[in-house]
Structure 1
């Protein structure tokens, strides 16, 4: 009986851990920043990233677009370097970029997905709007 309970607990824990990991396919796409946590660690970047769009394209190109103040609802400016690319390491759950040297740690808490910038410590709550 103890073995059955232990086996059930192991399966439950394994399923929980598996459900929190992302594949490259899960990461690819357009992400909208909903909220910025730890904004005091880098207030200037936190302000710039509020309502930003992070595009992780299937061809491995990468861009961040910041919402422009005073513009229309869809007024964004690209702030990453041309020809920037991204790669994903599923074992560490990190997204690394070239040219801008950004590394995001991908995590999930409940139904919320987060990209944490390892350099600044800013934690971006993101959603896929489409």
Structure 2
């Protein structure tokens, strides 16, 4: 009986760990930054990233566009035009060229986060498109 309970607990733990892993296909697309956590660690970048979009294209090109006052999205201070991205599923990290940004991908409570270790910012993101 004790072994059966341990096996059940192990199976549940393995399932929960596996369900939090994202694939490159899951990450490909447009992500909207809906919230920036730890904004005091880098106020300029936090302001720029509020309501920005992060495009992770299938051809591995990468860009971040900021939302402008008129509601459009364009490059301003967060310029990553012509950059590329790659994904490491074992570490759950997205690496980019040009800006050398590394984003740690995580999920918690049904939400997805991209955390940038260099700036100390954590972006809550949704995939509207």
Residue aligning to 1:100: 99
TM-score (normalizing by structure 1): 0.95
How far is 1:100 from its partner?
1.1
Residue aligning to 1:44: 44
Residue aligning to 2:12: 12
Gaps of 5+ in 1: none
Residue aligning to 2:89: 90
Residue aligning to 2:73: 76
Residue aligning to 2:35: 35
The runs of at least 4 consecutive aligned structure 1 residues that moved more than 3 Å come to none
Q: CA separation in 1, counterparts of 2:81 and 2:33?
A: 21
Residue aligning to 1:112: 111
2:61–2:84: 8 Å Cα contact kept in structure 1? yes
CA RMSD after TM alignment: 0.9
2:85–2:94: 8 Å Cα contact kept in structure 1? yes
Gaps of 5+ in 2: none
Q: CA separation in 2, counterparts of 1:66 and 1:102?
A: 16
How far is 1:80 from its partner?
2.5
Q: CA separation in 1, counterparts of 2:38 and 2:80?
A: 25
How far is 1:17 from its partner?
0.3
Task: Indicate the SS of the match to 1:11.
Answer: helix
How far is 1:81 from its partner?
3.5
Task: Indicate the SS of the match to 2:83.
Answer: coil
How far is 1:105 from its partner?
0.2
